[in-house]
Structure 1
Amino acid sequence: MPASPGWRHEMSGPLAGIRVLDIATFVAAPFCGTIMAEFGAEVIKIEQPGEGDSLRRFGTMTDVGDTLVWLSEARNKKSVTLDLRTPEGAEMFRQLVAKSDVVLENFRPGTMEKWGLGYESLAKINPRIVMLQVSAYGQTGPMKGKPGFARIAHAFSGLAYLAGEPGRPPVVPGSTSLADYMSGLFGTVGVLIALRHAELTGEGQTIDIGLYESIFRVLDELAPAYDKFGYQRERMGPDTVNVVPHSHYETRDGAWVALACSNERMWERLCKAMGRSELATDPRYTGARQRDLHRAEVNAIVADWARSLDIADLLAVCEANEAPASKLLSIADIFEDPQYAARENLQTIDDPRAGRLVLPGPLPRLSRTPPELRSAGPALGSANDEIWGDLIGKDADALADLKQRRII
């Protein structure tokens, strides 16, 4: 994949030899860099001198001056500082682009062009360069210039409208950063496809993602159901459209259990677990359509049963009858869970600045080329000497001058 392997860093992993310039902020586009870094890419995080990425101050602050979010999500990256808005800073960035494969950015459309660093300009320097562009609404359309964050994307995509109880205010759909992470995932797919195309043809390209699009894309049948039948889904609380019982139920000891019953086989197993096998052949509840028509009745039957058992006993009887079920785990539960331990979903790292950190393990899990958590988010500008000195060729006096003038 790389254009000129002679000046590549020494790394291991399937993406070793790929250099990524991450000039984005917060999570969305940078999360693409995080994933690539876990598989061996050299990811250079380029930040504003003196202040750095806003993600350093978003979340729970630590005594090293960076948040836990930064320490987790800027993992495996190298930090340099550079003011892209200055002519000298822009020129130094162009020198890096000539020696790189990927640029990640999430400025408002037109910002890079204003600095003379738009894709067309960079492609003249390096025709193979791949640029991921994540913005609130994408690079085109009447709203392309508007600002936005993940919460705004959740609203615009239709997700937030669906989150909450019927007749009650919409709520946050779990994570306030879901659109950021989803956009980073789709961005990673796009970058890897574009790198493959560049390998075959020598031509780079842009990947254009609007934050809201990554959420809208995964809302299953929301669009075709409205188009074909005029059906507008409303808030359903923990329930699921078309399928019942497929919800959350409280147990006798105050825990909550998730039960999934997406086909007839699962319904029969759940009925057996409840000691109500006759319900599986009751014509009122035979078939997904019938159960949906009798949703309140079915949910009441399951809720009454769940309230008759403690969570441990309910899970045991479901397991014995192969009925899918899980307790709704808190983070405290997760830290004690043997499945999480067996899968190494929580990994411990000793950071030279922050000390011991437990972070989510990298994904996906590959059998021959697994991802690796090597380091937590770096200190601001900690790789300035390596990148601007060793790679770009600035001597000590030049680096000192650049720092004094806040170019780096």
Structure 2
Amino acid sequence: MSDNAPQRGPLRHLRVLDLADAVGEAAARLLSDLGAETIKVEPAQGAPTRSEAPLHDGHSLPYLVRNAGKQIGTGLADDELDRLLAGADIAFCSPASGLGLEADALRARHPRLVVVDSSPFGRSGPRAGWQATPNTLLALSGSLSRSGRPGDAPLLPPAGIAQASAATQMAYAALIAHVQRLRSDAGQLVDIAHLEAVATGLDPAYGVQGSAAAGRSGKIRRDRPPADSYPIYPCADGAVRLCLLSPRQWAGMFEWLGRPAEFADPKFASIAARVAASDRLDALIVAHFRERTGAELVEQAASLGVPLAQVLSLGEALDSPHFLATGAIGEVELAPGLSSRLPVGFADIDGARLGIDGGPRALRTALWPPRDDSRAPRGAGASGELPLSGVRVLDLGVIVFGAEIGRALADFGADVIKVESQAFPDGLRQTRNGESMNASFAWGQRNKRSLGLDLRSEEGKAVFRELARHSDVVLSNFKPGTLTSLGIDHATLSAINPRIIVVESAAFSSRGPWARRLGYGPLVRAACGISSLWKYRAGETECWDGVTVYPDHVAAKAGALCVLAALLDREQSGHGVRIELAQSEVVLHQLAAFAAQESLAPGSVRPQGNRDRELFGDLFPADGDDEWCLIEARTPDELAALAGVIGWAGTAIGPSDELHAAVAAWARSLPPQEAMEKLQAAGVPAAAMQRLDQIAHDPQLIHRASYRPMTHPALEHTLPAENSSAAFSALPDLPMRPAPVAGEHTAEVLGDVLGWDEQRIAALLAAGVAHARQPNR
């Protein structure tokens, strides 16, 4: 192992070669953050990503951040590269790397290697050769259709989150393939399409909550939906975001406002009633907030159980005492003489922060010794089994994050047992008419079993602890301290089962000044600085990220990635770990390049709007009702091709208001799909803005089988559902078992996991310690 290899982290035995594009670089960095020894190989002239903006003192900050902690080998001879490949576990490659390497050739020469091929649209299909930018991926994925002011143009989210979300999906898929390699002693090819990864991982059309309801009904708005549930209000020193959902939270707000008589009617415990009276209610809140500072308001809100967060700029978030106290932000030397404050990681394992510890480093070795393979996670069996078969997970997770982290493991074969309380049901189970199932729950809880158990009772806690004795992983996303108060925290469970892995996730970590704050996605985004960038222009108070589910889905996949790493490490160490992951820190991690820029040039990171994120570009109205086409040019050649397609008669071809107006007139004359096809045929990045109900009919996603039908006996209609966010060359078909009704598998779980007989189980049910599916439900 080289002198620069990481000496800590659960993946310290893993060897990764980065021969990839920007998304592959970011994915490889995630594995490096978790301890993998990672080498980036570049052509003699350097990787194309070295020139990516923003630049500082001639350095590309995104390049430095994506490759932090890696060794860099430039211009290696073929035999040197081949020796590295022979010793590697995972290789990320891409046609855009500049190395001229083909994934198929790498697999042929090294059949035990996991090769991850990174490209915008995948290796085959009608759009495999199309051009793409992160913004065109957002347009095609459906995410853009939900972003922005109702009645206005859609608004591109802040730069970076599309690539970072795709990279998280890619890293997880790579590690899944590695686990399968340890089972079968054979590598495989993982074909990652950035479009598919963004469509299924950022704000999914057919996923849990938020967009799920729109994706199911087919009643898609023609413009952006209102963000009534997460309003932003001015205060004495900026703005705050309020999130009132439950009756208990409204009760706290009613008390805080001085119990106004006009809102004393119990009907205002309903969100719908408050929205109907929003003009009058907003006037009271504005008057209540405007003379107080954001910090004062947040402190007062917390004492009343009212979810509230300051809308911070990125610079303010980087300076926050909370993120500094948790270790989420640190000073890092990215290059000699170039130090920056930036997010260093998003997870703690046994109290140690994992992540960036320095910038890219020169390659010290061009030879890895032969592999000393670790064993697969417990339960590894025949090569025809799914990678996680034999792994048992006790899933206490709730709402979006809680659903998705367990599903990520269940989809690949883990036995995920959702532990449910009859008194405090998962909010995802809520339905208007008391139905036993809804589409959102069906998407997020497929492939799981349900155990009804009262964890408030001492006997229920004892049952859980006994289940933990026979399990591998416990997942939770309660407020900090909940597992300890229940007597099922990592310290307690590890005394029973030293191999147990416990995940605790919260909005803002269990440490630091914000540890006890209530956190929903919109509040997390506000406090991390991303909402302040989600604007049409600087200086506006309102942010337009209110209806997205981000970061729940991508944070859940990051959590599942940590679980895989811990399972692999356990086979070397023999013991489990406690993983703590804060969703706010996942958001900051995805903004790391812009955090570096803001640290080096305070005030330079501002809302970008839609126009000219590349050399030239914008979101242009197209023919039709609220139809749009995203058109960009990254190079002079692409700009010249764009001018040719639209018949530009100007003498000079360059970014200008005149060219912009000409492109706008041309786009307005065509349906967006036709404009997109014409421009892509000429090699110009362009994308029609797709709505959520269009995603399952996208020809490229159809070719890749990104979605497949999902049925549930309690639902009337068949639903499109995510198949997989990657194409694996040597993986069995993934299961699609229906999500359970509450308590559906209680007797089954207690019988097959604990070996209890029917009489003992019946006694637990009669005592109310356990509960089972109700008849006719």
Give TM class, smaller chain.
0.7 to 0.9
Alignment of 1:274-353 (within 5 A): 274-276=646-648, 282=653, 285=654, 291=655, 299-353=660-714
**TM-score, normalised with respect to structure 1:** 0.87
Query: Which residue of 1 is the match for residue 417 of structure 2?
Result: 44
Aligned with residue 736 of structure 2, among 367, 370, 374: 374
**Cα distance in 2 between the residues matched to 1:272 and 1:221:** 35
Given that 1:388 and 1:399 are in contact with CA atoms closer than 8 Å, whether structure 2 keeps it comes out as: yes
Query: Which residue of 2 is the match for residue 125 of structure 1?
Result: 496
Equivalent position SS for 1:95: helix
Query: Which residue of 1 is the match for residue 473 of structure 2?
Result: 102
**Cα distance in 2 between the residues matched to 1:318 and 1:148:** 43
**Cα distance in 2 between the residues matched to 1:326 and 1:343:** 18
**TM-score, normalised with respect to structure 2:** 0.47
Bigger mean CA offset, 317-326 vs 11-20: 11-20
Query: Which residue of 2 is the match for residue 288 of structure 1?
Result: none
Aligned-pair identity (%): 28
Q: CA deviation at 1:336?
A: 3.4
State the one-letter code of the partner of 1:161.
Answer: S
Unaligned stretches of 5+ residues in structure 2: 1-374, 771-777
Bigger mean CA offset, 146-155 vs 253-262: 253-262
**Cα distance in 1 between the residues matched to 2:417 and 2:675:** 50
Bigger mean CA offset, 194-203 vs 269-278: 269-278
Aligned with residue 562 of structure 2, among 177, 181, 190: 190
**Cα distance in 2 between the residues matched to 1:298 and 1:132:** 53
Given that 1:29 and 1:133 are in contact with CA atoms closer than 8 Å, whether structure 2 keeps it comes out as: no
Given that 1:2 and 1:18 are in contact with CA atoms closer than 8 Å, whether structure 2 keeps it comes out as: no
State the one-letter code of the partner of 2:584.
Answer: Y
1:1-59 Cα distance to aligned partner (Å, 9 max, x none): 688649x9xx94111111111111112133111011111111000011255321111xx
1:56-82 Cα distance to aligned partner (Å, 9 max, x none): 11xx75874222110110011000011
State the one-letter code of the partner of 1:139.
Answer: S
State the one-letter code of the partner of 2:556.
Answer: G
- Does residue 26 of the first structure (1) align with residue 387 of the second (2)? no
**Cα distance in 2 between the residues matched to 1:138 and 1:24:** 16
Equivalent position SS for 2:728: coil
Change over 3 Å in CA distance of 1:298–1:47 after alignment to 2: farther
Given that 2:672 and 2:689 are in contact with CA atoms closer than 8 Å, whether structure 1 keeps it comes out as: no
- Does residue 203 of the first structure (1) align with residue 564 of the second (2)? no
Bigger mean CA offset, 174-183 vs 163-172: 163-172
**Cα distance in 1 between the residues matched to 2:567 and 2:733:** 19
**Cα distance in 1 between the residues matched to 2:735 and 2:695:** 20
Query: Which residue of 2 is the match for residue 249 of structure 1?
Result: 620
Aligned with residue 762 of structure 2, among 393, 400, 406: 400
Query: Which residue of 1 is the match for residue 726 of structure 2?
Result: 364
Change over 3 Å in CA distance of 1:273–1:119 after alignment to 2: same
State the one-letter code of the partner of 1:217.
Answer: H
**Cα distance in 2 between the residues matched to 1:370 and 1:146:** 43
1:383-408 Cα distance to aligned partner (Å, 9 max, x none): 10111123213332322232233211
Given that 1:128 and 1:204 are in contact with CA atoms closer than 8 Å, whether structure 2 keeps it comes out as: yes
Given that 1:346 and 1:358 are in contact with CA atoms closer than 8 Å, whether structure 2 keeps it comes out as: yes
Q: CA deviation at 1:259?
A: 2.0
Alignment of 1:201-240 (within 5 A): 201-219=573-591, 221-239=593-611
Aligned with residue 386 of structure 1, among 730, 743, 748: 748
Q: CA deviation at 1:371?
A: 5.8
Equivalent position SS for 1:257: strand
Unaligned stretches of 5+ residues in structure 1: 286-290
**Cα distance in 2 between the residues matched to 1:67 and 1:277:** 55
State the one-letter code of the partner of 2:495.
Answer: K
**Cα distance in 2 between the residues matched to 1:390 and 1:13:** 20
State the one-letter code of the partner of 1:376.
Answer: P
Query: Which residue of 2 is the match for residue 156 of structure 1?
Result: 527
Root mean square deviation of aligned Cα: 2.7
Equivalent pairs counted in the alignment come to 391
State the one-letter code of the partner of 2:395.
Answer: D
Given that 1:39 and 1:370 are in contact with CA atoms closer than 8 Å, whether structure 2 keeps it comes out as: no
Equivalent position SS for 1:134: strand
Given that 2:437 and 2:715 are in contact with CA atoms closer than 8 Å, whether structure 1 keeps it comes out as: no
**Cα distance in 2 between the residues matched to 1:116 and 1:368:** 42
State the one-letter code of the partner of 1:40.
Answer: G
